[in-house]
DNA sequence: ATCACCTGTGTAAACGTTTACACATATTCT
DNA sequence: AGAATATGTGTAAACGTTTACACAGGTGAT
């Protein structure tokens, strides 16, 4: 590997001068600068990022924490982060936490051991865990006091879900609630329930982990109580659609179903899924930008991105 | 941050001794070892991985190259890699290449600049590009001479697709071909076509990028020529199912459709998709194990994992 | 002519590890 | 007893950068 020493020898100056010429920090005469750049090109010199990271105690790697990359919501987020990262000469290390606090702290430790430039976390406990000597941190789709965060407008999304079902004539609604630990799911159901109540609509709630109970045999009368089902995300909605089909309950005629996320798949299910579209890629992209601001000592005010209803056949 | 120096001072020995006690390389008396470990625990010492990587010129980061993490096949692969990596105290940097040779080489360069332990690549050109001074490399779901690779048995998968449709009574088959640059897709269609021909079944082929042509209005007679459609992957099959529904062609009665991959989602589409199940997670997991063998100088013979038919309603 | 300042460069230390080597002591073998 | 070997420890260099500091020469103001 060609190092800065080789380059220095080639050009006939000291390594310090080469370093200054390359990084643009400190003085370097135009003449030397040109010769250094030319030689760097010619010898195909690439600075060793590890040495750099050790010296400056800040690498150009950002750590990204997600519950599970297999959940189709996250690849898009990560893509948004990664695209923006590479544009800014940064790399992305991913960690799957499986909602496990121990795994989270382990990853945080790892990120620190790697002199990471910062952390983007879409897991819940990270913001709460008192974590000393942590890197710059952006919370994605999660909020916690004292940390900058970026999220979609979940309150609005929840309202839109309810409003749409109401407009489509639903008046007995089942609200399925997502994972309670996540502020995003809580905000959605707050918006939903608030809207249902101001419109005087009958509703019941169900935790997503009790979903299977709905579809066991002999429960079709329980289900036919409702003519609208609000799901906390699209994946849950797929399961609901499947369960309804198995019980021969017609969607959207007998019951209308609305999801949340607008995953690519939602156009392919049958009936295609009405849902709330979130700017998932942009969440990731902007999260990275915020992180860079934060790392540069600039302010990184929290962001809330807009959401919109996506009408399809399920309502 | 507490460094090895602090630890040395605390225990009252030299940093070299601490290092030896911690890594287990070289001699260290039981007494000192215990005191070092105790102090490490007490001071919450974690070795800096950057310094380690610089010194040994080998980090515990592996680079993973995929065309696009947004393609639902890859998150599972990555999860397999990442789980096994973390178990072996390694981290995963991901790179999306978008089938772009320049991006690939750029990532390879980055991985080198980061002293990566090795690379797992699911992109096509990497094996062909003469890449000097590269890290240990495992090709995933791709094959190229002179590089160890891991893939599922695509030939068998292609045969299974054809055999199943034949058994279900299809005798006029449309074979949709996947991206030609990938050996995996080629192997599948070779297996498929070979099987169709030995059974004397009529067939036509179509490149996946011409898929939309199928579903433009007025093409339903073109489509009704076939009573079986073989797709190169599940995502393509979703599109086909959707197109057929739009044209009111009944699946599986009028035409049987089979996919490839067995993505989670394939159980949720309607009709649920018959497909070929690949051990996607295991591909990733084993790829990482192979990489570790390779990096340790051990032989890493190429692997071919088994596939199996997953019967559902679309056939 | 003196001083202050700016520009350009080199020397050397630092980042936090690992490890080759030297050395000292303890054990085992003739 | 002396030699050979095994065990344990410290010193210092190395990995490839960046950067504080020192210094030299040039420019402009007084």
Any strand C atom closer than 7 Å to B242 CB: no
pLDDT for the residue B126: 65
Asked if A4 CB < 7 A from strand D, the reply is yes
Is B114 at the interface with chain A, CB within 8 A?
yes
* pTM for this prediction: 0.94
Indicate the pLDDT class of residue B212, thresholds 50, 70 and 90. confident
Identify which of B53, B68, B83 has the shortest CB distance to residue A50: B53
> Which one of A50, A68, A268 has the shortest CB-CB distance to B269?
A268
The pLDDT value given to residue B135: 83
Whether any strand D atom is under 7 angstroms from the Cβ of B28: the reply reads: yes
A1 CB within 8 Å of a chain B CB: yes
Say if A246 falls within a structural domain.
Answer: yes
B245 pLDDT tier (thresholds 50, 70, 90):
confident
- Region B154-180 average pLDDT: 95
Are B37 and B112 members of one domain? no
Instruction: Establish whether the CB of B55 is closer than 7 Å to any nucleic acid atom in strand D.
Output: yes
Asked whether A315 and A257 are in contact (CB, 8 A), the reply is yes
pLDDT at B7: 95
Residues 82-111 of chain B with CB under 7 A from strand C are none
Measure A195 CA to nearest chain B CA, in Å. 30
Residue nearest to nucleotide C13 (CA to C1'): A55
The verdict on A243 and A206 lying in the same domain is: yes
| pLDDT on residue B131 | 58
Residues B181 and B247 in one domain: yes
Protein CA A115 to sugar C1' C17 (Å): 14
B130: pLDDT strictly greater than 60:
no
Assess whether B216 (CB) lies less than 7 A from strand C: no
Q: Report the nucleotide nearest the CA of residue A45, measured to C1'.
A: D16
Q: Which residue has the higher pLDDT, B160 or B146?
A: B160
C1’ D28 / CA A26, Å = 23
pLDDT of residue A270: 85
Question: Does the C-beta of A56 come within 7 A of strand D?
Answer: yes
Give the pLDDT score at A154.
Answer: 97
Query: Lowest-pLDDT range, A217-226, B126-135, B257-266?
Result: B126-135
Q: How far away is chain B from the Cα of A201, in angstroms, using its nearest Cα? A: 30
Tens-digit pLDDT profile for residues B69-103: 999 999 999 999 999 999 999 999 999 999 898 99
Residue B312 lies in a domain: no
Rounded to whole angstroms, the Cα distance separating B98 from A97 reads 27
Å: A10 CA to D24 C1' = 24
Q: What is the pLDDT of residue B210?
A: 84
Regarding whether B249 and B105 lie in a shared domain, the answer is no
| A310 domain-assigned | no
- B133 lies in the same domain as B164: no
pLDDT tens, position by position, B110-128: 999 999 999 999 987 766 6
Residue B134 confidence class, pLDDT cut points 50, 70, 90: low
3-state SS string for chain B: CCCHHHHHHHHCCCHHHHHHHHHCCCCCCHHHHHHHHHHHHHHCCCCCHHHHHHHHCCCCEEEEEECCCCCCHHHHHHHHHHHHHHHCCCEEEEEECCCCHHHHHHHHHHHHHCCCCEEEECCCHHHCCCCCCCCCEEEECCCCCCCCEEEECHHHHHHHHHHHHHHCCCCEEEEEECCCCCHHHHHHHHHHHHHHHHCCCEEEEEEHHHHHHHHCCCCHHHHHCCCEEECCCHHHHHHHHHHHHHCCCCCCCCCEEECCECCHHHHCCCCCCEEEECCHHHHHHHHHHHHHHHHCCCCCCCEEECCEEECCCCC
Containing domain of residue B163, as a range? 154-277
* A22 CB closer than 7 A to any strand C atom: no
Per-10-residue mean pLDDT for chain A, 315 residues long? 94 95 89 94 96 96 97 97 98 95 92 95 73 78 87 97 96 93 92 97 90 71 84 94 88 95 91 96 98 93 97 94
Q: Specify whether B228 is located in the same domain as B143.
A: no
- CATH number, position B136: 3.40.50.2300
Strand C neighbours among B 43-72, CB < 7 A: 45-48, 51-52, 54-56
Assign residue A33 the CATH number of its domain. Answer: 1.10.260.40
Asked if residue B310 is part of any domain, the answer here is no
CA distance B16 to chain A (A): 19
* Residues 40-99 of chain B whose Cβ lies under 8 A from any Cβ of chain A: 46-51, 53-54, 59, 61, 68-70, 72, 74-76, 78-79, 82-83, 86, 91-96
Q: Are residues B132 and B84 in the same domain?
A: yes
pLDDT of residue B109: 93
* A166 belongs to a structural domain: yes
Nearest to B51 among A54, A82, A92 (CB): A54
Residues A244, A183 share a domain: yes
Residues B229 and B298 in one domain: no
Looking at the fold, whether B38 and B112 belong to one and the same domain comes out as no
Residue A144's pLDDT is 81
Q: Is the pLDDT of residue B262 over 80?
A: yes
d(CA B97, CA B123): 7
Report yes or no on B8 lying in a domain. yes
pLDDT mean over B140-159:
92
Q: Which of A235-239, B95-99, B133-137, B281-285 has the lowest mean pLDDT?
A: B133-137
- pLDDT recorded at residue A290: 98
- The reply to whether A76 and A216 lie within a common domain is no
A250 at B interface, C-beta within 8 A: no
Q: Is the CB of A135 under 7 A from strand C?
A: no
Higher-pLDDT residue of A225, B213: A225
Task: Give the nucleotide with minimal C1' distance to the Cα of B3.
Answer: C16
> Would A83 be classed as within a structural domain?
yes
**Total number of domains constituting chain B:** 3
Same domain (yes/no): B101, B70: yes
Q: Is A312 within the bounds of a domain? A: no
């Amino acid at each position: 590997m060609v190092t800065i020493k080789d380059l220095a020898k080639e050009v006939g100056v000291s390594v310090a001068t080469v370093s200054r010429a390359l990084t643009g920090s400190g003085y370097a005469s135009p003449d030397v600068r040109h010769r250094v750049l030319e030689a760097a090109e010619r010898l195909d010199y690439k600075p060793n990022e590890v040495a750099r990271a050790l010296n400056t105690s800040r690498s150009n790697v950002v750590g990204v924490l997600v519950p599970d990359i297999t959940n189709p919501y996250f690849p898009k987020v990560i893509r948004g982060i990664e695209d923006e990262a590479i544009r800014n000469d940064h790399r992305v290390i991913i960690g799957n936490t499986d909602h496990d606090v121990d795994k989270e702290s382990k990853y945080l430790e790892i990120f620190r051991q790697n002199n990471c430039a910062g952390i983007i976390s879409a897991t819940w406990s990270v913001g709460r865990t008192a974590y000393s000597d942590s890197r710059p941190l952006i919370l994605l789709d999660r909020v916690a006091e004292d940390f900058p965060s970026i999220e979609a407008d979940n309150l609005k999304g929840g309202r839109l879900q309810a409003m749409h079902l109401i407009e489509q004539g639903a008046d007995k609604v089942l609200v399925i609630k997502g994972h309670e630990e996540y502020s995003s799911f809580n905000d959605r159901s707050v918006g939903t329930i608030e809207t249902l109540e101001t419109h005087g609509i009958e509703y019941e709630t169900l935790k997503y982990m009790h979903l299977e109970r709905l579809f066991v045999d002999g429960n079709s009368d329980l289900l036919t109580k409702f003519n609208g089902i609000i799901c906390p995300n699209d994946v849950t909605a797929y399961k609901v659609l499947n369960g309804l089909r198995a019980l021969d309950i017609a969607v959207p005629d007998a019951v209308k179903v609305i999801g949340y996320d607008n995953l690519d798949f939602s156009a392919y299910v049958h009936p295609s899924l009405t849902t709330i579209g979130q700017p998932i890629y942009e969440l990731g992209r902007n999260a990275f930008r915020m992180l860079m601001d934060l790392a540069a000592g600039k302010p990184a005010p929290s962001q809330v991105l807009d959401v919109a209803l996506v009408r399809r056949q399920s309502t």
